[in-house]
């Protein structure tokens, strides 16, 4: 795992149901993709009123897929969790 700063557009933020293991969910758009992430309480409080805003966030990244293309290994990384939200 490693950290990466990515500029994202906050498409939507929703509160989780009472029985959920997280505080809420956010739909984030970024160059090259889209991700729906579960949020902890701290991240939910920062994002809940920011729909439509572009923010810089530091994410924990993980390996999403390893494939062989043209006889070379290609690794695709995916956003795992928000570590920090900056304005």
C-alpha to C-alpha distance for 63 and 78, rounded to whole angstroms: 6
pLDDT at 1 exceeding the cut of 80: no
pLDDT digits (tens, 9 = 90+) for 28-51: 999 988 999 999 999 999 999 999
C-alpha to C-alpha distance for 28 and 39, rounded to whole angstroms: 12
Domains of the chain: 2-86 (2.40.50)
**CA-based Rg of the chain, rounded to a whole angstrom?**
14
**Mean pLDDT value of segment 25-30:** 95
């Amino acid at each position: 795992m490693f950290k990466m700063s990515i500029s994202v557009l906050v498409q939507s933020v929703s509160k989780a149901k009472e029985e959920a293991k997280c505080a809420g969910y956010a739909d984030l758009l970024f160059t090259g993709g889209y991700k729906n992430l579960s949020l902890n309480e701290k991240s939910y409080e920062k994002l809940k009123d920011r729909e439509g805003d572009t923010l810089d966030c530091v994410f924990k990244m993980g390996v999403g897929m390893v494939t062989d293309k043209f006889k070379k290994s290609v690794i695709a990384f995916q956003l795992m969790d928000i570590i920090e939200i900056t304005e």
